[in-house]
């Protein structure tokens, strides 16, 4: 590997080496990432595999029937804050999955478009939900300069193979003053710290625990600091940053015992007191021209 995928630095430290790959922290920009980022043909193949996209986590987006079941409450919260920062106009949902968020945004008065790498998922959004969804990457979609008033990345940035390039492209297609919403995991959460502590206490034997934190499809693990640094570098200013619940029970892609779910919920709730919850909403504004 040629260096940090975010800043290019050659200096990094290993956080853990698990069967699903080594996780490192850049000693310059502090970003945590998979030492061998899933990219290229392998990256594309991953999202064309129906089994990957039909785990309960993703299927919730396909159903989207109950407004009380995740991810709908999370979407609703983001949408509400978004509308406070920028009145509804053209919105692009990058990695829109089956289109549940697009439907919600449309109802709230946004003119919505989506891009989705997973072909059959995009097809569902187009055919079953009658949404304007492009199959492929946002780079391939090649939207005009300054086109969108808002862009959303729900649980997407951690999957990207080149976040710097993708964010630059998103910045290009946004209007001056437009808002980017990034929803992702907080690497500096109390839950993650406790996880690492338990892993060290197990003398690096509890690998299963680390595979929960460093899920195989995730390449990047940002903190409030590292995501803010990256977004600023690409040309955004941070408008707001809020925390959200871990919802560990919702992971369900990998088996988690009920005891571990209960423990995680307690830790995540305690994290509220010190602003170190597991999920974060970052609202960034494209600097007005």
Binding site for Zn ion (CB under 5 A): 4, 6-7, 9, 26, 28-29
Please give the structure tokens belonging to residue 15: 């956080």
Tell the smallest beta-carbon distance from residue 11 to Zn ion (Å). 8
Alpha-carbon distances of 181 from 50, 109, 167, 259, rounded to whole Å: 27, 17, 12, 33
Tell the smallest beta-carbon distance from residue 275 to Zn ion (Å). 24
Tell the smallest beta-carbon distance from residue 237 to Zn ion (Å). 21
- Report the residue number, 28 or 70, with the smaller CB distance to Zn ion: 28
Collect all residues with Cβ–Cβ distance below 8 Å to 201 and sequence separation of at least 6.
none
Tell the smallest beta-carbon distance from residue 289 to Zn ion (Å). 29
- Report the residue number, 6 or 16, with the smaller CB distance to Zn ion: 6
Three-class SS string for the chain?
A: CCCCCCCCCCCEEEEEEECCEEEEEECCCCCEEECCCCCHHHHHHHHHCHHHHCCHHHHHHHHCCCCCCCCHHHHHHHHHHHHHHCCCCEEEEECCCCCHHHHHHHHCCCEEEEEECCHHHHHHHHHCCCCCEEECCHHHHCCCCCCEEEEEEECCCCCCCCHHHHHHHHHHHEEEEEEEEEEEECCCCHHHHHHHHHHHHCCCCCHHHHHHHCCCCCCEECCHHHHHHHHHHHCEEEEEEEEECCCHHHCCCCCCCHHHHHHHHHHHHHHHHHCCCCEEEEEEEECCC
Residues making up the chain, counted from first to last: 289
Pairwise CA distance, residues 246 & 268, whole Å: 7
Tell the smallest beta-carbon distance from residue 230 to Zn ion (Å). 9
Please give the structure tokens belonging to residue 217: 């499809």
- Report the residue number, 61 or 166, with the smaller CB distance to Zn ion: 166
């Amino acid at each position: 590997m040629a260096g940090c995928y975010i800043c290019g630095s050659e200096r990094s430290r290993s956080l853990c080496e698990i069967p699903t790959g080594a996780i490192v922290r850049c000693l310059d920009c502090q970003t945590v990432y998979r030492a061998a980022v899933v990219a290229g043909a392998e990256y594309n193949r991953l999202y064309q595999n129906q089994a990957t996209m039909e785990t309960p986590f993703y299927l919730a987006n396909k159903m989207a029937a109950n407004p009380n079941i995740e991810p709908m409450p999370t979407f609703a919260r983001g949408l509400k804050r978004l509308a406070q920062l920028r009145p509804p106009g053209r919105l692009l949902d990058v990695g829109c999955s089956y289109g549940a968020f697009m439907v919600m945004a449309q109802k709230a008065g946004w003119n919505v478009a989506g891009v989705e790498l997973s072909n059959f998922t995009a097809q569902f959004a187009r055919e079953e939900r009658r949404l304007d969804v492009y199959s492929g990457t946002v780079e391939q979609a090649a939207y005009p300069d300054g086109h969108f008033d808002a862009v959303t990345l729900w649980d997407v940035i951690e999957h990207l193979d080149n976040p710097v390039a993708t964010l630059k492209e998103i910045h290009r297609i946004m209007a001056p003053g437009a808002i980017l919403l990034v929803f992702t995991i907080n690497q500096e959460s109390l839950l993650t710290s406790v996880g690492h502590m338990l892993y060290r206490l197990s003398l690096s034997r509890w690998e299963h625990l680390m595979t929960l934190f460093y899920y195989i499809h995730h390449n990047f693990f940002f903190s409030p600091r590292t995501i803010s640094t990256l977004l600023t570098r690409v040309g955004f200013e941070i408008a707001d940053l809020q925390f959200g619940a871990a919802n560990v029970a919702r992971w369900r892609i990998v088996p988690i015992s009920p005891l571990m779910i209960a423990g995680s919920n307690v830790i995540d709730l305690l994290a509220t007191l010190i602003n170190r919850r597991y999920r974060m909403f970052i609202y960034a504004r494209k600097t007005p021209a």
